[in-house]
């Protein structure tokens, strides 16, 4: 039996990602969930995606940065107002380095593979059970309102949202990919919510950053891409909830 691990918000820091896999002695029988935002800010987001694509035991959940990327790279008209607005939002959030690699360094076949891979990434996984404990994995915030209850799909992706009215689909996507938990919520769930998106310095003053826990929620975004704030990559092993950390500069 292998272990089950969770990471989040690697943001193009390939060295941190690779170092962490070595630190936890990641093996073929283990399972890894990454809670979105492997791209942007750091220079190697595309390289991380390419590595994930061939690993059968790793599941990437969609983050808001992958969603911004998909919005731009799947537009049919790459000269209109929607494209310009999408690029502006993506670049404003650190996407220029990812866009350069995607458009300038990849051929069309590789671009298509990456798009297809990201489009199949789940938006959240509400029923992960490890060592008798139940976990809800999501990039930003759970679907407390049950907006996805009407979707008949085993795994909910971006494409799954097309069965919902446009307003509900947008509300659901905004919640699970963008909304920041205040940290004072009492989640109405019989499980532990594990999320990223919001660096833990929003909730506590520890330097270097550490995993943050409150009630039945755990934030594992320890600011991998912001070392000036004591950021580093966090990995949580769900079997015993042990925390692992590494920095981009570690060997």
- Domain membership of residue 92 (yes or no) is yes
Spatial separation of the C-alpha atoms in residues 4 and 128, rounded to whole Å: 10
Structure confidence at residue 33 (pLDDT): 98
CATH of the domain at 62: 3.60.21.10
- Domain membership of residue 146 (yes or no) is yes
Spatial contact of 101 and 25, defined as CB atoms under 8 Å apart: no
Structure confidence at residue 250 (pLDDT): 63
- Domain membership of residue 251 (yes or no) is no
Structure confidence at residue 179 (pLDDT): 97
Structure confidence at residue 221 (pLDDT): 98
Q: What is the residue whose two structure tokens read 């999501």?
A: 138
Structure confidence at residue 1 (pLDDT): 84
> What's the Cα-to-Cα distance from 58 to each of 28, 64, 138, rounded to whole Å?
10, 19, 15
Q: Which domain holds residue 45?
A: 4-246
Give the tens place of pLDDT for each residue, 62-93: 999 999 999 999 998 888 899 999 999 999 99
Count: domains in the chain: 1
Residue 196, CA atoms < 13 Å, CB-side half-sphere: 33
Give the tens place of pLDDT for each residue, 22-44: 999 999 999 999 999 999 999 99
Q: How confident is the model at residue 245 (pLDDT cuts 50, 70, 90)?
A: very high
- Domain membership of residue 82 (yes or no) is yes
Mean residue pLDDT across the chain: 95
Give the tens place of pLDDT for each residue, 185-234: 777 778 999 999 999 999 999 999 999 999 899 999 999 999 999 999 99
pTM across the whole model? 0.96
Q: At what angle do helices 14-23 and 45-53 cross, to 10 degrees?
A: 40
Spatial separation of the C-alpha atoms in residues 51 and 87, rounded to whole Å: 25
Residue 236 scores a pLDDT above 80: yes
Short-list 141, 177, 185, CA closest to 157: 177
- Domain membership of residue 230 (yes or no) is yes
Structure confidence at residue 248 (pLDDT): 75
């Amino acid at each position: 039996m292998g272990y089950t691990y969770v990471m989040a918000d690697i943001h193009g820091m390939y060295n941190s990602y690779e170092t962490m896999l070595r630190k936890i002695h990641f093996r073929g029988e283990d399972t890894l969930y990454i809670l979105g935002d492997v791209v942007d800010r750091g220079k190697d987001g595309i390289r991380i995606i390419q590595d994930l694509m061939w690993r059968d035991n790793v599941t990437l959940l969609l983050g808001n940065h992958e969603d911004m990327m998909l919005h731009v790279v799947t537009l049919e008209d790459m000269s209109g107002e929607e494209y310009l607005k999408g690029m502006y939002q993506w670049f404003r959030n650190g996407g220029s380095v990812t866009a350069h690699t995607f458009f300038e360094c990849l051929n069309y076949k590789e671009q298509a593979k990456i798009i297809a891979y990201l489009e199949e990434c789940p938006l959240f996984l509400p029923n992960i059970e490890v060592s008798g404990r139940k976990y809800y994995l999501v990039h930003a915030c759970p679907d407390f309102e049950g907006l996805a209850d009407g979707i008949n799909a085993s795994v909910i992706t971006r494409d799954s949202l097309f069965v919902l009215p446009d307003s509900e689909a947008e509300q659901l996507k905004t919640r699970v990919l963008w909304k920041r938990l205040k940290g004072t919520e009492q989640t109405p769930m019989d499980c532990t919510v594990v999320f990223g998106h919001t660096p833990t310095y929003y909730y506590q003053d520890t330097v270097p950053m550490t995993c943050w826990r409150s009630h039945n929620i755990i934030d594992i975004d320890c600011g991998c891409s912001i070392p000036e704030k004591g950021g580093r990559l966090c990995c949580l092993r769900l079997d015993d909830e042990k925390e692992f950390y590494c920095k981009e500069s570690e060997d």
